[in-house]
Amino acid sequence: MSSRTQSSVQAGRPGFVWAAPAIVFFAVFALLPMFVVVYLSFTSYSAISDPVWIGVKNWRHLATDPLVGNSLRLSAGLTVLSWLVQTAIALPLGVYLAGKGRTRSVLAAVLFLPLLMSGAAIALLWSTLFDPNFGLASVVGPLIGVADGNFIGKPTLAFYCVLLVIAWQFIPFHTLLYQGATRAIPTSLYEAAMIDGAERFKQFTLITVPQLRDTIITSGVLMIVGSLTYFEIILILTGGGPGTATRILPLHMYITGFRGFDMGYASVLAVLLLAVGTSLSLLITKVTGYRKMSSQKEGL
């Protein structure tokens, strides 16, 4: 390009000021409070009186708290399994629903409903279903080897129930992401494959999935970071129980801070959550080159 064209293109680019309002707004309501939380982690605070500085005492407690290791393990497990289960269902489902056809349209609408419900509503609904004596669990249980319908009362099973309900709520969202992305894949790619005689499954694995790479990353980041901070359903469905079997880290933080009113230590857990979440999200985006603003459509 000639230097004249280059500079005129440059002049037409938006500068930082465009992003500034969003950044400032977000900083005031999300980042600034987070700094205050870091401060609170060095204090003893129960919300009814002012915070009292106690240095690293809360942080030392982190090392001796028997529940933290448990929470971390549960959170890690839930994150990984959620990602696997939700992607394994949402991706093929999204691709399937991307096809034209009225039945698929109606189907997509119905399958989207769970996302429209609030977490509290979903948890209330499922807790009636899980009642071991009068709910759906009492009927389905005996059919699949749980004779007394006791799903959310057994530690391991409760974990899987939680995994299921959260997946139930969020799969529609990720299905939508995949659905939209699939719709945008140019048919020219498929036409070429057809000519070569590739059948449906090969098309899926060799064309569709690679083209969805960016969406897999977006969806993955959202799932992973989301499962590190989300707990509304677990709070109402199992309360972290039985015992501590479903007490993932954000829930541990909530119970410590808002039931035990130990805000200082809860702030430590919050900082821990933030650290893990940001490292993960930065790591993923760096490793996959997500941040390079290149389009997958180049070359077409």
- Distance of closest approach, residue 70 Cβ to other proteins, in angstroms: 11
Rounded Cα distance between 90 and 223, Å, is: 12
Q: Which of 55, 63, 102, 133 binds other proteins (CB under 8 A)?
A: 133
Asked if 25 interacts with other proteins (CB under 8 A), we say yes
In whole angstroms, how close is the CB of 211 to other proteins at the nearest point? 9
Do residues 284 and 213 make contact, with C-beta atoms less than 8 angstroms apart? no
CB of 77 to other proteins, least distance (A): 18
Chain positions 183 to 202 lying near other proteins, rule: CB under 8 A, are 183-188, 190-191, 194, 200
Query: Does residue 43 touch other proteins according to CB under 8 A?
Result: no
Q: With respect to other proteins, which residue has the nearer C-beta, 36 or 56?
A: 36
Question: Which of residues 78 and 185 has its CB atom nearest to other proteins in the complex?
Answer: 185
Q: Is 91 in the site for other proteins (CB under 8 A)?
A: no
Q: Which residue in 88, 87, 113, 108 sits closest to 98, CA to CA?
A: 108
- For residue 252, CA distances in Å to 31, 35, 266 come to 22, 20, 8
Contacting other proteins within 228-287 (CB under 8 A): 228-229, 231-232, 238-244, 250, 253-263, 266-267, 270-271, 273-274, 276-278, 280-282, 285
Which positions from 219 to 238 touch other proteins by CB under 8 A, shown as an x/- string? Answer: --xx--x--xx-xx-----x
In 3-state terms, what secondary structure has residue 226?
Answer: helix
The H or E element containing residue 121 is: helix 119-129
Question: What is the full DSSP assignment across 184-201?
Answer: TS-HHHHHHHHHTT--HH
Q: Does 48 bind other proteins (CB under 8 A)?
A: yes
Query: What's 44's DSSP letter?
Result: E
**C-alpha to C-alpha distances, 167 to 22, 162, 247, 276, nearest whole angstrom:** 31, 8, 17, 22
Beta strand segments in the chain, E: 43-44, 52-53
- Of 71, 86, 182, 227, the one binding other proteins (CB under 8 A) is 182
85 binds other proteins (CB under 8 A): no
CA distance 178 to 164: 20
Q: Of 118, 142, 210, 213, which lies in the binding site for other proteins, with binding defined by CB under 8 A?
A: 118
Q: Determine if 110 is a binding residue for other proteins (CB under 8 A).
A: yes
